[in-house]
């Protein structure tokens, strides 16, 4: 199989059920999930299996689920096949958020992105995930989407925040709080 097809040379690309312009909101949405998946792969590559024996398989599963998000977003005609992203996948993210959050100290102020390499990379994942969510919101204004993808991405960004803090904690690195912040959190996130 050849990698290049030349079918996109005129500025259009194939989606499930047709062709659209390469700058279509649908392509922007699933393209951003693809970018997110690359950052997750990079985060995985920085993780020591001895420090992250639980988180590595979770992130690998998330990579498959992000691909599912992209697949659902590439579906131009929903009647062609069932959606892949489900409410159960969102529920599973909430379980992981609660599980990993138990490892981290309480916070009262906003946290600056950073710390160790793993944490910093997971914060990049969080922000790209938020951008993907915004692209999905834009797409949903004019076209039909699987609403579970939007919910999944919203919860996934919360998970990235939590595991970025978990990474710093496991590596013995303190989170850096935003010094101009008042105490805004009264309980653990």
Instruction: List pLDDT tens digits, range 104-156.
Output: 999 888 899 999 999 999 999 999 999 999 999 999 999 999 999 999 999 99
Would you state the pLDDT for residue 58?
A: 98
How distant, in Å, are the alpha carbons of 76, 91, 127, 139, 162 from that of 33?
16, 20, 12, 13, 19
> Which helix H or strand E contains 120, and what residues bound it?
helix 117-142
Write down the pTM of the prediction: 0.93
Are 135 and 125 contacting, i.e. CB atoms less than 8 angstroms apart?
A: no
* Reported confidence tier of residue 187, pLDDT bands at 50, 70, 90: low
Pick the CATH number of 12-104+114-164 from 3.40.50.2300, 2.10.109.10, 1.20.1200.10, 3.40.50.970: 1.20.1200.10
- Nearest alpha-carbon partner for 39 in 123, 149, 162: 123
Would you state the pLDDT for residue 189?
A: 46
Handedness of CA 85, 89, 91, 93 (dihedral sign): negative
Other beta carbons within 10 angstroms of residue 180's beta carbon come to 7
Domain ranges of the chain: 12-104+114-164
Tokens of 99: 């599980």
How distant, in Å, are the alpha carbons of 63, 111, 113, 182 from that of 106?
28, 11, 16, 15
**CA 154 – CA 8 distance, rounded (Å):** 31
Are 160 and 129 contacting, i.e. CB atoms less than 8 angstroms apart?
A: yes
Would you state the pLDDT for residue 134?
A: 98
**CA 92 – CA 101 distance, rounded (Å):** 14
Average pLDDT over residues 159-163: 98
* Reported confidence tier of residue 6, pLDDT bands at 50, 70, 90: confident
Instruction: List pLDDT tens digits, range 75-96.
Output: 998 899 999 999 999 999 999 9
């Amino acid at each position: 199989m050849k990698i290049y097809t030349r079918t996109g040379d005129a500025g259009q690309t194939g989606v499930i059920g047709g062709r659209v312009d390469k700058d279509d909101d649908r392509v922007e949405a699933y393209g951003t999930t693809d970018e997110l998946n690359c950052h997750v792969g990079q985060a995985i590559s920085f993780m020591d299996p001895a420090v992250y024996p639980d988180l590595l398989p979770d992130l690998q599963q998330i990579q498959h689920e992000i691909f599912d998000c992209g697949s659902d977003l590439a579906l131009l005609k929903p009647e062609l096949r069932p959606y892949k992203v489900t409410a159960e996948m969102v529920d599973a993210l909430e379980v992981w958020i609660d599980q990993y959050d138990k490892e981290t100290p309480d916070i009262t102020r906003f946290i600056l992105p950073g710390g160790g390499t793993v944490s910093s990379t997971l914060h990049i994942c969080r922000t790209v995930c938020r951008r993907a969510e915004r692209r999905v919101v834009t797409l949903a204004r004019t076209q039909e989407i699987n609403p579970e993808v939007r919910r999944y991405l919203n919860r996934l960004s919360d998970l990235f925040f939590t595991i970025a803090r978990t990474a710093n904690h496991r590596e013995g690195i303190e989170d850096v709080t935003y010094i101009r912040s008042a105490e805004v959190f009264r309980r653990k996130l």
